[in-house]
Copies of this chain bind each other. A is one copy, B any other.
């Protein structure tokens, strides 16, 4: 499968939110756009190392935070005591986590949106985002 985004696309993405393009930032965006499951900081560091992009761990945390601020990525918490992150372009789904094997599956077509609109109207609040995760036992682990 061909990469959906190129280095050039990542640069544009960064420029659009007034961030300088650095190897670490491009690498992190690439990682999150390529990978199908939400990544934690440790995984990002490994990815960068594999690509021979030298970065300090602190910098990865800082980059992740600024990408969050700019709305390019979203945070995901799967009950692990740490954050994972997903590129905004693939955040239109939710997650199922198997409590036995820790596999993460995507759950699509949850029309929470309708529910969300009702809640906003009823409560007078503005909902910017939501997080929905399902925990249980996957098909493989049921045997």
Contacts and interface: CB of A to CB of B under 8 A. Distances in A.
Kindly state the interface size class of chain A when it binds its partner.
Answer: 20 to 34
Contacts of A81: 83
A141 B130 CA distance: 18
Interface stretch (A23-31, A32-40, A43-51, A117-125): A117-125
Interface in A96-132: 96, 98-99, 105, 107, 110, 112, 115-116, 119, 123-132
Given A77-B77, A132-B132, A139 B127 contact: no
B105 A134 contact: no
A125 B110 contact: no
A123 B75 CA distance: 25
A129 B136 contact: yes
A101 to B, nearest CB: 12
Nearest to A131: B133
A107 B123 CA distance: 9
A138 B123 CA distance: 9
Contacts of A107: 119, 123
A137 interface: yes
Given A75-B79, A130-B135, A131-B133, 4 more contacts: A96-B119, A96-B123, A105-B125, A129-B134
